[in-house]
Amino acid sequence: MTSQRDVTEIDEGTEIDEGTEEQSVDGRRLRRERNIAAVIDAVIEMFSEESLTPTIERAAERSGLSLRSVYRYVPDPETLIQAAIDETWRRGQAAAHLASIGQGPFEERVRQFAEMRVRLYDRVGPSYRAGRLHAPRSVRIRDDLERTRRTLTEQFERQFRPEIEALPNELRMVRSTTADVLSQLELIDLLRRARRLTVQESIDVVADAVANALRP
């Protein structure tokens, strides 16, 4: 007669408490998740220090994990870099949000849009630069980068649909493309790093460029 506890027989005469086994599995899963998070955090930190080509060896050293452990989680540097970029964008999603998109007076929408784009860049800029650096050698990173650009373009079009539709046919493509390109993260990267503009100065430049391109 078996005990009232839930048990599973493993081999003859061996019993393992199912609750204990589940706890062990859960513990390993949680440890794995913590270790992966530690490695990704280490790579994100390296990105922020402009170390955009981190190796698995450096990620292991930075995270405090053994090289063997890290290789169990990420088989190659491309996977590691992609995971760090993905996590950065996951964390930055809130910064990309526009409340009441496409609604409100034009000038207010322009200012709201410019503030959002510059603050988004400040949240994801290092990982975005890493993505651009590795895109020529990675189809997945290149595709993700292009998907991000398309998403930002769609957001721009939703925010300024009335103004885009009001433009004369012969000017619509040129003006809307100009405003879209001048608010993409590549342009903001140029403002913040090459021109060394402050956050507020960058917001002013993006707002002025978008407003001038879309005004009738």
Give the residue from 64, 56, 57, 48 showing the smallest Cα distance to 81.
56
pLDDT for residue 19: 55
Residues of the chain with pLDDT under 50: 1-16
φ/ψ of 71, rounded to 5, equals -65, -25
- Residue 21 is predicted with a pLDDT of 53
pLDDT of residue 28: 78
Token couple for 123: 């949240």
* Contact call for residues 131 and 144 (beta carbons, < 8 A): yes
Q: What is the pLDDT of residue 30?
A: 87
Instruction: Identify the pLDDT of residue 9.
Output: 34
Say how many C-beta atoms besides its own lie within 10 A of residue 126's C-beta: 21
Whole-prediction pTM: 0.81
Q: Return the pLDDT at 10.
A: 31
Q: How far apart are the first and last CA of the chain?
A: 87
Q: What is the CA radius of gyration of the chain?
A: 24
